Amino acid sequence: MYKYLKINYSPKLKGTVTISGAKNAALPIIASSILSKSEVNFINVPEVADVKTLLKLLKNLGAEFKFENHNLKIDTSDINNTTAVYEIVKTMRASILVLGPLLARFGHCKVSLPGGCAIGARPVDLHLKALKLMGADISIEQGYINAKGKLKGTDIIFDKITVTGTENIIMAASLAKGKTRIINAAKEPEVTQLCEILKDAGVDIKGIGSDEIIIYGTDGELLEFKTTEIIPDRIEAGTYLAAAAITNSRITLNNVIPEHLEGILVKFKEMGFDFEENERNLTILPAKKIAPVKIVTTEYPGFPTDMQAQFMAIATQANGMSVIEERLFENRFMHVPELNRLGANISINGKVATIIGPSKLIGADVMATDLRASSALVLAGLIAKGETNVHRIYHLFRGYENFVEKFKNLGAKMEILNEEKP
Ligand code: EPZ
């Protein structure tokens, strides 16, 4: 049964929202538990669909876990199967994150190739090329990656910056024999937290947070993890700030790390918004007049591609022409035709979208296509007159914990309903 989200015009939000743990930190960190000799304890783990999918995959391999109230205890010592099956991997491409740890620990594994996804082909060629350089024998058979071999440290230069590619190699290198140098490494905060956790677990890692990371592997010696708190989700935080911006409201976010948001905050300021910051709280202040913006998505610490759709929704309310260039993924504008159905005035030319605002949006039925595009449709639905129904809303629950409750607490009028049969 499909569910959809009905949103009624909610032109003003107010109050505070607490940000959950970062999905894109939790996924590699949970995968890294494969490298542990005993049970590992993680706290502030977001209860979102993608985390539950990864736990289902690890259970399928033989791991045991207890996950309640954002507290995850996972024990992978009894893993007796190293095949990550298509049925699970096809539902979440980040399953590729078990490849590096499984190969490093067991010397062999079979991982289904993640299908493409709506936002692009998203190949994993760079992950495989790097593992081959570390001595792995890799073949692709019937849609599966067959990997085997004892991993040895070496120099790896990534042709493109890849977040999960960097994470896979950091985990593989942690148990390899000798020194691995990763050049052109991703610097996202989620990569940094993975390095910090592995360092605390006994791996000698240098250059954490930089684009050159050096890992001295333990040569097969399993790790002893310490209890760790997952960092707050900077994209969830950015999405709630975008909700405040599009309704020109004042709201406060609890549990954020402002430094992780710098690439986003600078664009909010360009549009006329301002902020009050202290330690881990952040308040966004309404703009006198929402100004248009120019955005190019780049790797961290630049403006993140995962906030592109949300800013496009805000730009529909800006006074003038905004321009957004998407440089990381080849097909990440699927929210454009849906926003235009609501009355936006957006045109696309290759990788560049041009948004003329302000547009009066009128509620309509729209279709979510991927996680972040769906959040952009919800934002637009807040200020569209009348009722907006966002279909295929399951995309949203992959990465946003308690989305509806958090928005209703801010004054948004929305509810989840079951699709009637067409
Ligand atoms: C991570 O995906 C995030 N997912 C994505 O978030 C995010 O959009 C992306 O990084 C970019 O920031 C997780 O961390 C689980 P990439 P990832 O490898 O690692 C190309 C969300 O909304 N590439 O950094 O898969 C690739 O096609 C998700 O939470 C290759 O060509 O992204 C893309 O164009 C969506 N070959 C670019 O590099 C490879 O082997 C960046 O991809 C790997 C990547």
Which phi and psi angles does 70 have, rounded to 5°? 65, 10
pLDDT over 90 at 117, yes or no: no
Tell me: the pLDDT tens digits for 392-408?
999 999 999 999 999 99
Tell me: the pLDDT tens digits for 51-80?
999 999 999 999 999 999 999 999 999 999
Alpha-carbon distance 54 to 128, whole Å?
20
Alpha-carbon distance 41 to 126, whole Å?
31
What is the SS3 assignment for 31? helix
Nearest CA to ligand 1 atom 27: 122
pLDDT over 80 at 115, yes or no: no
| Pick from 97-106, 195-204, 273-282, 338-347: least confident | 273-282
The letter for the amino acid at 124 is: V
Tell me: the pLDDT tens digits for 239-271?
999 999 999 999 999 999 999 999 999 999 999
| Ligand 1 pocket test target in 160, 192, 398 with most atoms within 8 Å of CB | 160
pLDDT over 60 at 422, yes or no: no
Whether 53 lines ligand 1, by a CB cut-off of 6 Å, is no
Contact 72/4 with Cβ under 8 angstroms? no
Which tokens is 346 given?
């957006």
pLDDT over 70 at 116, yes or no: no
- Ligand 1 atom closest to Cα of residue 300: 12
pTM of the model as a whole: 0.97
pLDDT the model gives residue 157: 98
Whether 263 lines ligand 1, by a CB cut-off of 6 Å, is no
Residue 195: active-site member: no
Tell me: the pLDDT tens digits for 170-200?
999 999 999 999 999 999 999 999 999 999 9
